[in-house]
Structure 1
């Protein structure tokens, strides 16, 4: 199949970044941004900007009938996933491929409960250093989308079709035939980076150099390595070093979305990170003291939000 029509739900950092890029590469009518009517009104009045340039998006509300998309990209926060699943139903047809760029290791299976799991490709967004303040997104490194099939060792026609499309669109990508391990690696990175930068109220530069914050980050990541062995998707120190290399490429002044949420007094995805680590640790009898401390500190910070 050939991918021509694309629908994106979620105008956070990733939605804006990839949406803005695609507007320059494909016909405007073939790219749809799905949002509720109130959001659409605000987006049109206030604008959405990427690196100082106003994004020229075509918006669709969930109620509007439309031709199904060839590719649907989920870029919402985890707490908005269920609403997003409902919102995209007019955009999903028999041939639609679904990519979820959400953090964590569970969104694909949740989406697959509503739509055929075989149409959902596993995906990880990595290497971007986007910072979103209000309706303004800035970034230095676009990063890439890594994706592949649920079954290890398989590269399906759907995966190949997305690869061909991204090649045409100049979207940085990588096809991985072991996406479960890739997702666990990104989960390990998020657990370390997102939470540490949030607690230290800092930026990537703080954890790129030696010191207490970087030591905390790595200790939190090693707790994920211990859990991955119990879950049958074992990560190693080699994987940790791979993700530390990814971290080293990011702009030192950038910061993850979780830290941006805390700064803006928005509730974060902490339950998706250390919350999940603590639950898995309890299930497998694996101590996770660093993540417990990070969890408690972030919950304390959030308790002061009005």
Structure 2
């Protein structure tokens, strides 16, 4: 199999970054952005910009009769996942490969439950520092898509395609551990940066924000071992090293949400940690503190 067509659902920071990347390297009609007509009208009227350049994108509605895509990439927020799964149904056939760049540790299972587990490769987007402000995305580091944990032929197909379109990637044998590691980082950096109202520089430097971030990450390490994943301090420092490469003036998605007074993915981060802590009888005081702080912010909207 060869990938010639790509569909993306979710024009957040990652969705725009990938849509712009693919559109510049493939025929425009081979890269479809799935959105409802109201969103499409807004995108076309206001424009979508990536690093200051207007993107020339091809849009399709969920209802449109189209040839199924070879590759579908989910880049929605977790709260929109169920709706997004329904929206891509016309784009899926037996050979379609699906990647999810969502945060958290559960989206692949939820997508697979509806669209077929055999179509899904486990995936993590890491190392990017994209910021979205309304219809504009800026970034210095594109990061990479890490994927694996599935049909070897599909993994090779995606790797070959990413080579062709020059998208940074890494094939990872233990994607479950990698996903938990990214989850651990998100639990720390997204929430600490939001609560301390700072940016990546605020957690690059020694101080209360960085200490809180690392303490929240260590609670995930403890829980991972109860869940059979076994993260270690070495994993913590692997992700801290990645964090150190990000633009100091950049901000993670949860901080961008609280600044824009949007409801965040706090339930996906500390909410998940708290529930797992209750499941295993393990205290999670740092994540409980972060959860309370962020939900208090959201009550003020």
Q: Same fold judged by TM-score > 0.5?
A: yes
> Alignment partner for residue 166 of structure 2, among 149, 170, 192?
170
Task: Quote the Cα distance in structure 2 between the aligned partners of 1:291 and 1:132.
Answer: 26
Alignment of 1:41-190 (within 5 A): 41-150=41-150, 156-190=152-186
> Alignment partner for residue 283 of structure 2, among 287, 292, 304?
287
Could you give the per-residue CA deviations for residues 70-102 of structure 1, whole angstroms, max 9, x where no partner exists? 000000000000000010011011100000000
Task: Quote the Cα distance in structure 2 between the aligned partners of 1:212 and 1:109.
Answer: 36
Question: 1:271 — aligned with what?
Answer: 267
Question: 2:245 — aligned with what?
Answer: 249
Secondary structure of the residue aligned to 2:128 is coil
Task: Quote the Cα distance in structure 2 between the aligned partners of 1:39 and 1:291.
Answer: 35
Task: Quote the Cα distance in structure 2 between the aligned partners of 1:157 and 1:149.
Answer: 11
Task: Quote the Cα distance in structure 2 between the aligned partners of 1:297 and 1:40.
Answer: 35
Task: Quote the Cα distance in structure 2 between the aligned partners of 1:186 and 1:149.
Answer: 16
Question: How big is the shift at 1:115?
Answer: 1.1
Alignment of 1:14-29 (within 5 A): 14-29=14-29
Task: Quote the Cα distance in structure 1 between the aligned partners of 2:119 and 2:155.
Answer: 10
Task: Quote the Cα distance in structure 2 between the aligned partners of 1:119 and 1:246.
Answer: 29
Task: Quote the Cα distance in structure 2 between the aligned partners of 1:257 and 1:215.
Answer: 20
Corresponding pairs, count = 301
Alignment of 1:184-203 (within 5 A): 184-203=180-199
Secondary structure of the residue aligned to 2:293 is helix
Question: 2:4 — aligned with what?
Answer: 4
Question: How big is the shift at 1:118?
Answer: 1.2
Task: Quote the Cα distance in structure 2 between the aligned partners of 1:251 and 1:36.
Answer: 33
Asked whether 1:304 is paired with 2:274, we answer no
Secondary structure of the residue aligned to 2:114 is coil
Task: Quote the Cα distance in structure 2 between the aligned partners of 1:286 and 1:60.
Answer: 47
Question: How big is the shift at 1:149?
Answer: 1.6
Secondary structure of the residue aligned to 1:235 is coil
What's the RMSD between the two structures over aligned residues? 0.6
Dislocated runs of 4+, deviation >6 Å: none
> Scaled by the length of structure 1, what TM-score is found?
0.98
Could you give the per-residue CA deviations for residues 29-86 of structure 1, whole angstroms, max 9, x where no partner exists? 1000000000000000000000000001000000001000000000000000000001
Task: Quote the Cα distance in structure 1 between the aligned partners of 2:225 and 2:16.
Answer: 36
Q: Runs of 5+ in structure 1 lacking a partner?
A: none
